[in-house]
Amino acid sequence: MPASTRHHRALAVLVHCLGILAAVPALPPAAPEAAAAPRPPAVTPQPTAATPRPAAATPGPAATTPPVTGTPPPVAVAARAPVAAPTPPSAPPAMAPPSRKPATTLPPPVTVAVAPESSPAPRYRIHVRNRGNSPVDTTVRQELPPGASATAISAGGRATPVGGSAAEVTWRLKLPAHSATTLGTALTATAPGQPMTAPACAFTSDGSRPYDCATATWQAAATPAPKVTEAPPWQRIPVLLAGLAVLLLLCAGVFWVWRRWRGRRVRAAALASSGTPDDGRGTVYPRPSAPSPARRRRTPPVWLLVGAAVVVLAAVIGTAGWTATRRVAAIDTQKQPTSGAWMGTSVTGPLGVPLRESAFEFTVYRISCGAAAAAQPADGGGTAPAAGRRCQATVGVRNVTGDQQPWHGQMQRAYLPGGRWVSTDEPATQAANLGRDVFADPVAAGSRVVLPLVFTVDGRDPPRQLELRSGIFSAGVRVDVP
């Protein structure tokens, strides 16, 4: 073959390949069905007369193109270009990333509402309702204030001491589906006219996990104030003092007038007694006037000045010391700081009273401690460490803000006698909440949850105070434990 023919052929093949490569991106994507269907074998182009093929390139009988049929032969399938298969979707990760969205809280099947009665003695009505579609066995407990005792309990309830002077009233109920019952208690007043708070909670049949809690404060009926008759004017102290002041002014005025009148009389008498031998006719040369005796100005004695100075100095020092003592005594060293880096104001209250801080409203309904060196199932289950015991607090948490709020177990503390404190036992708290980590998810805006918190304490003395807070810089609330 001449060299020019070979060059033209090579150039034609190169241009043909470049055209194919430029047209491939513009082709529409093949449908999945078309890509999956087998393609017919490509037809080999025959040489034209303009470009005669050499004898070595002439195909023999074995290279003859087979006829096109419905099913291509294996050789043609292997010779065609491979079709890129669609990329399968990536497999999901082995572990889902942690979510910081608030967990969806389902409404409890049993709800509790407490209402006080208008009576001379403290009385409460407890409404327990089963909103589920199946019967529920529940235990209802009402905490009594320190020093109070139950005088009347509705049928089925009994009063049991919890520890110290505190006590509780317990009912074991079996509520049918979509039913409600009302319980009642009457208590003795610890002090006349003093308000009393008695929270109540509905627990599971074993008394370990709370369904719902509520609280109410009984106020003594307002007694009409006795009518006070005003005293006559001459018996009122302000009127007597005003009259005495007027009398003193009148006396001072009379004394001043009398002194002026007496001074004029003395001067007139002195002028009348200074006459001459010639019966007042005078002389040519006036007589020299007799010098009047010099009068000594009266000054207070030295001892009176020194005594007055000492009294004034003592009064100033005493007033300054009294003011400083009052200001120092007004400083509460046990109160959390309420300014600077702390958010909100620290509030202290008893059991059953809602206490609000910057983001949450906390209500501690009940706290109970197990025996030393062993924990009951109601206290979180398991076994407590040596020389320690677990105390479980039933706490209601309400988010009073418009955003979801996280909170941390290490910021919830129980203070022991002597100023020591312990944080929440998170593994025991998780076990008491059926394996759910209550601190992993934030509390949704405007929602309320009732859950148990477990504290592992050492020694025999129970906690004296609980400190609950929403964040690290929150002032928090403090609940006094009876």
| Cβ proximity of 80 and 39 under 8 Å | yes
Q: Which of 410, 433, 432 is nearest to 423 (CA)?
A: 410
Q: Does 33 or 293 have the greater pLDDT score? A: 293
Q: By mean pLDDT, which of 43-52, 360-369, 416-425 is the weakest?
A: 43-52
**The pLDDT of residue 365:** 95
Phi, psi of 424 (to 5 degrees): -65, 135
207: left (phi over 0), alpha (psi -120 to 50) or beta: left
Q: Which of 294, 137, 116, 111 is nearest to 211 (CA)?
A: 111
Residue 68 lies in a domain: no
pLDDT in tens, 48-67: 443 444 444 343 434 344 44
Say how far apart CA 135 and CA 123 lie, in whole Å: 29
**The pLDDT of residue 104:** 61
**The pLDDT of residue 254:** 81
Q: Is the pLDDT of residue 431 over 80?
A: yes
The domain spanning residue 179 has which CATH number? 2.60.40.10
Share of the chain above pLDDT 70, in %: 63
| Total count of residues recorded for the chain | 482
Domain count, the chain: 2
The DSSP-derived string for 421-452 is EEE--HHHHHHHTTT--TTTSPBPTT-EEEEE
Radius of gyration from C-alpha coordinates of the chain: 52
The identity of residue 119, as a single letter, is S
Q: Is the pLDDT of residue 136 over 80?
A: yes
Q: Is the pLDDT of residue 389 over 80?
A: yes
How high does pLDDT run on average in the chain? 74
**The pLDDT of residue 178:** 92
Q: Does 2 or 475 have the greater pLDDT score? A: 475
Task: Name the CA dihedral angle for 164, 449, 406, 402, rounded to a multiple of 10 degrees.
Answer: -130
- What is the enclosing helix (H) or strand (E) of 396? strand 388-399
Say how far apart CA 9 and CA 51 lie, in whole Å: 9
pLDDT in tens, 318-360: 777 777 776 666 655 455 444 445 677 788 999 999 999 989 9
Residue 74 lies in a domain: no
**The pLDDT of residue 207:** 80
pTM of the prediction?
0.55
Span 258-274, average pLDDT: 75
Say how far apart CA 191 and CA 148 lie, in whole Å: 10
Residue 66 lies in a domain: no
**The pLDDT of residue 80:** 45
**End-to-end C-alpha distance for the chain, whole angstroms:** 114
The domain spanning residue 385 has which CATH number? 2.60.40.1240
**The pLDDT of residue 10:** 77
> Sign of torsion, CA 95 98 104 110?
positive
Residue 87 lies in a domain: no
| Cβ proximity of 5 and 51 under 8 Å | yes
Residue 130 lies in a domain: yes
Say how far apart CA 12 and CA 105 lie, in whole Å: 75
Q: By mean pLDDT, which of 120-129, 189-198, 453-462 is the weakest?
A: 189-198
**The pLDDT of residue 192:** 78
Q: Which of 443, 464, 404, 452 is nearest to 424 (CA)?
A: 452
Provide the pLDDT confidence category of residue 81 given band limits of 50, 70 and 90: very low
pLDDT in tens, 370-386: 876 544 444 444 444 54
Span 134-141, average pLDDT: 93
Other Cβ atoms less than 10 A from the Cβ of 129: the count is 18
Residue 173 lies in a domain: yes
Q: Which of 393, 364, 380, 376 is nearest to 429 (CA)?
A: 380
Residue 412 in tokens: 């919830």
Domain end marker among 218, 236, 256: 218
Domain end marker among 194, 218, 242: 218
Q: Provide the greatest CA pair distance for the chain.
A: 195
- Tokens 């003594």 correspond to 220
**The pLDDT of residue 228:** 59
| Residue 455, domain extent | 347-480
Residue 51 lies in a domain: no
Provide the pLDDT confidence category of residue 101 given band limits of 50, 70 and 90: low
SS3 for 293?
coil
- Tokens 């504290």 correspond to 455
SS3 for 261?
helix
Q: Is the pLDDT of residue 415 over 90?
A: yes
**The pLDDT of residue 400:** 92
**The pLDDT of residue 120:** 86
Q: Is the pLDDT of residue 255 over 60?
A: yes
**Which stretches of 117-250 are assigned E, i.e. beta strand?**
123-130, 136-143, 150-153, 157-163, 166-175, 179-187, 196-197, 200-203, 210-214, 217-218
**HSE (CB half, 13 Å, CA atoms) of 336?**
20
Residue 175 lies in a domain: yes
Domain end marker among 158, 186, 218: 218
